[in-house]
Structure 1
């Protein structure tokens, strides 16, 4: 599998999505408090809604309580930044204690993912007054259901900003350090897109593995780049003399804003995996170097652990490794011993499900006790490195008639890893936030011939989802993913709909959640990550 895209200097235009708003207001003696329900996205089987509470009065509002009904067939599955209880189709949302009073003219937003298509709420009240803002309760077709105040006991400790998906399933996204250049994607975009509220973990990619040691990947992007107030997560500009700047400081600010977020520093990747060969010769020394770098006092509070992306142990990626089948297990064991039980230690691994392939080349099961989870890279199976084709989806979930290589699909990898004894809840399903494509294609269905890679904005044969959804909308599906032919170009990529299907698979398989490469490929309002979060339920 190819992942040279990880080191390309990507950039991307922001694609704005239209939203549908349902304004609602509650009466107040002087002005009103309004609650606006905004449909952020709707993927058919689910939707995401943003609710904005605005204080239009001349006095501070200490608390608010929104009550509303949802039509039959529509339910709230997950929510964030408010406490929500329900009885039947009647919902009550109240302000979290950490949110503080709502000053005159100020707004506060919370959100939820729902099942079924988006539907506007009914019978909405705020603090007992009508959401229409006319000072009278709204007409109701049925008496409102009383929700007992004891349904949600007060927490003994401050709750996280947003709960993880039900069942503690993980939503893990890569942030590419080089994205701050041509792509103009910064940590702030994780916040403004709404993605931070839906993530459980961020993987900062990549650190280097030079000389068998963990090393800085890009010191300027990592901790030296000065951010203006406009580009900073919290609107505060960096100063010339502050001890930490760059993306590390921005991640620190993001974690303060979203306390549920954990951040891991990922080392290796397609380009920087060569150093693992030397690391395997002295795993303890490698682990010690990694610990000293990740726990450097300048940024120790930023990182909650380490991620290893070795492509590939005892097999070939950009270069070949012949460290033996035990090398991966030995390196991971040393990392766990050095970082201790309280840190996260994870690994992105091959998703080659063929017999005698890359999964079989290393003792991944032997490393399982030392890892919090594995991330089999269930994408990049096929692409325009095979310039003449055949065209094929790069991220098939299942096999299909005409697949160019048996075993090159997600379910084959998942079943092989489970058969080796790796617990299902330690496996995360991988999603690509980009497509791969060919040009010179005449056949719409997969399996056609081509003349080379399709043009891409920053790399031939590769394009972000946020671009493809408009430039070449999906027209068909195969093996649980989508494809489209536009002129002579043929692309395959995941959409909110196909991601929903993949998340159903992840739930049915008992997997620990999902991860994706990478954040900047999504739309400006986090359409794909919303589908992951909503699909995991």
Structure 2
């Protein structure tokens, strides 16, 4: 996920600071650059023209990421999913993140996950936790949320930008990894909370925070073992690269072959550009399409979706990703995209990154490009989605017959759920 995502290992006393740092670090490089020397993958034969001629009806999945570290500095809790109106729109929640260590799925943050005691005021149902109850924390709050909204499904997401380094070791014994994940997700203390697992490996057989060399088929083999362990009654999904460039990250893995093991993919169609390139050029981090002057061809949502579909992956197994945050530069004098910069714009939790709920007032949109918005205010330049540009992306999702929409992440929206309510 975000990508704005990824917690980092921390002592509980330092949890808030570490969680904040993780937010932006995980955003970095979702689209990313292709690993040096990576060979383009061989693509399967094109599907018959008749099969391509029949459009697929768009799906209505709406999946939001909920971060365990959001309960610290961000002060965002499961109850806020209800009070914002988001619970009425969501079909699924991806709970981020569990860790991957020593070839196994492990707890990400035990305090936030299942130890924190909630007061009556903080709790979803207005009932305070007691000192001796078996399950507290976010897991218990999610249980209460599902009692109020029984149609919402919850998946436990593992990995993310900061915690993807363990997948290479996991791939060496995928059966053991899959068993560890099943045993953790189905722990009797919280088995009723989760309806499946989401894998966020950044990136198989390519480079993210570290470079993986497990091979082109390792990802699919790992997912195949997960399906054996979890069976067909549980959901298995995966957030994947949206690098649609020639020889890029999509080409490094057999995503078409792996798709048989999954219910759907979540291509991370955001973080294509940002102040990790400190001097610019300024560019929208989540362009829907290409546009004249785009810094890297293939770094846009349509390129990623088109490439994945061309591999034979069914449209209904692909969801469109939206970032509920912006990326920005400072030292920018040009209003339109393509300007130079001196560095990252100031952000609440990390330079170069800010929530939509802040940007909508602090730096209102001044233009649109490639189906998303940008804003030039003073010396700062930001790009982010608005309710209006989300509407444009929903039209694209429907035209492409995609399975639905997902977003990173719930706490970045306004208190009344402005962005999620624009998803249709």
TM-score in same-fold range (> 0.5): yes
The answer as to whether partners of 1:399 and 1:406 remain within 8 angstroms in 2 is yes
Cross-structure match for 2:65: 174
- Which of 1 and 2 has higher RCO (CA within 8 Å, sep 6+)? 2
Cross-structure match for 1:268: 159
1:364 and 2:364 matched: no
The answer as to whether partners of 1:466 and 1:521 remain within 8 angstroms in 2 is yes
- Secondary structure of 1:9's aligned partner: helix
Aligned ranges for residues 363-382 of structure 1 at < 5 Å? 363-382=254-273
* Counterpart-to-counterpart distance in 2, 1:288 and 1:498: 42
Query: Which of 101, 116, 119 is 1:228 aligned to?
Result: 119
Cross-structure match for 1:298: 189
Cross-structure match for 1:189: 80
1:9 and 2:55 matched: no
In the TM superposition, residue 167 of structure 1 has moved relative to its aligned partner by 6.0
In the TM superposition, residue 169 of structure 1 has moved relative to its aligned partner by 1.4
Query: Which of 362, 380, 388 is 1:471 aligned to?
Result: 362
In the TM superposition, residue 376 of structure 1 has moved relative to its aligned partner by 0.2
In the TM superposition, residue 371 of structure 1 has moved relative to its aligned partner by 0.3
More helix by share: 2
In the TM superposition, residue 489 of structure 1 has moved relative to its aligned partner by 0.3
* Counterpart-to-counterpart distance in 2, 1:455 and 1:313: 32
- Secondary structure of 2:397's aligned partner: helix
Aligned ranges for residues 284-433 of structure 1 at < 5 Å? 284-433=175-324
CA distances 1:41-74 after superposition (whole Å, capped 9, x unpaired) = xxxxxxxxxxxxxxxxxxxxxxxxxxxxxxxxxx
Cross-structure match for 2:371: 480
In the TM superposition, residue 464 of structure 1 has moved relative to its aligned partner by 0.1
Superposed CA RMSD = 1.3
In the TM superposition, residue 168 of structure 1 has moved relative to its aligned partner by 4.7
* Counterpart-to-counterpart distance in 2, 1:388 and 1:196: 40
- TM-score, normalised to structure 1, is 0.70
In the superposition, relative to structure 1, how do residues 168 and 429 fare at CA in structure 2: closer, same or farther (>3 Å)? closer
* Counterpart-to-counterpart distance in 2, 1:202 and 1:4: 16
CA distances 1:241-296 after superposition (whole Å, capped 9, x unpaired) = 00000000000000000011000000000000011001110100000000000000
In the TM superposition, residue 350 of structure 1 has moved relative to its aligned partner by 0.1
1:444 and 2:332 matched: no
Cross-structure match for 1:207: 98
The answer as to whether partners of 2:58 and 2:401 remain within 8 angstroms in 1 is no
* Counterpart-to-counterpart distance in 1, 2:408 and 2:176: 30
Query: Which of 141, 145, 168 is 1:250 aligned to?
Result: 141
In the TM superposition, residue 491 of structure 1 has moved relative to its aligned partner by 0.2
- Secondary structure of 1:209's aligned partner: strand
In the TM superposition, residue 3 of structure 1 has moved relative to its aligned partner by 2.8
The answer as to whether partners of 1:437 and 1:462 remain within 8 angstroms in 2 is yes
The answer as to whether partners of 2:289 and 2:301 remain within 8 angstroms in 1 is yes
* Counterpart-to-counterpart distance in 2, 1:376 and 1:496: 21
CA distances 1:437-485 after superposition (whole Å, capped 9, x unpaired) = 0000000000000000000011000000000000000010000000010
CA distances 1:72-109 after superposition (whole Å, capped 9, x unpaired) = xxxxxxxxxxxxxxxxxxxxxxxxxxxxxxxxxxxxxx
- Secondary structure of 2:420's aligned partner: helix
In the superposition, relative to structure 1, how do residues 220 and 251 fare at CA in structure 2: closer, same or farther (>3 Å)? same
In the superposition, relative to structure 1, how do residues 525 and 456 fare at CA in structure 2: closer, same or farther (>3 Å)? same
Structure 1 residue runs of 5 or longer lacking an equivalent are: 12-165
Structure 2 residue runs of 5 or longer lacking an equivalent are: 8-17, 22-56
- Secondary structure of 1:196's aligned partner: helix
Q: How many residues align?
A: 379
The answer as to whether partners of 2:3 and 2:408 remain within 8 angstroms in 1 is no
Query: Which of 131, 150, 154 is 1:240 aligned to?
Result: 131
CA distances 1:120-171 after superposition (whole Å, capped 9, x unpaired) = xxxxxxxxxxxxxxxxxxxxxxxxxxxxxxxxxxxxxxxxxxxxxx965100
In the superposition, relative to structure 1, how do residues 329 and 209 fare at CA in structure 2: closer, same or farther (>3 Å)? same
The answer as to whether partners of 1:5 and 1:459 remain within 8 angstroms in 2 is no
Cross-structure match for 2:30: none
Cross-structure match for 2:352: 461
1:508 and 2:403 matched: no
Runs of 4+ in structure 1 deviating by more than 4 angstroms, as ranges, are none
- TM-score, normalised to structure 2, is 0.88
The answer as to whether partners of 1:381 and 1:394 remain within 8 angstroms in 2 is yes
In the TM superposition, residue 212 of structure 1 has moved relative to its aligned partner by 1.2
